[in-house]
Amino acid sequence: MTIVNIKRETGHYMMDINGHAGYADPGIDIVCSAVSILSYTFIQTLQNLEEQGKIYMFYTNIKEGNVQIEFRYSDNNVQSVIDTIENGYSLIENQYGEYVRVIGGK
């Protein structure tokens, strides 16, 4: 199972994604693929926001089966990015709840 653990505080955001979904064999697991592409999209978007000076203390750690993201932000527009990505993880959980669990968030 993949666990998406989200911690929010005012202006501070942390996400830890851990584990393989186990929906199918590695390399053909559509649930893992969905979680992975959403994670990479989030990281790329955060890198873009960092270049624009909208987030600070950007940290990512990516390993097989684990992604960690942490940053501080002050720009209100960043909240819509966070909400969109969290909605994506929730949609995956709603469809594949045996394989993905989201903890925290909104």
The pLDDT score that the predictor gives to residue 76 is 81
The Cα 7–Cα 59 span in angstroms is 14
Q: What is the pTM of this model?
A: 0.92
How many contiguous H segments (helices) and E segments (strands) does the chain have? 2, 5
Note the pLDDT tens digit of each residue in 52-67. Answer: 999 988 888 888 889 9
The pLDDT score that the predictor gives to residue 55 is 92
Query: What's the rounded mean pLDDT across residues 83-97?
Result: 97
Domain residues of the chain, as ranges? Answer: 2-104
What are 10's two structure tokens? 């005012």
The pLDDT score that the predictor gives to residue 82 is 94
Note the pLDDT tens digit of each residue in 2-16. Answer: 999 999 988 899 999
Evaluate if residue 39 carries a pLDDT over 90.
Answer: yes
Which architecture characterizes domain 2-104 according to CATH? 2-Layer Sandwich (3.30)
The pLDDT score that the predictor gives to residue 75 is 84
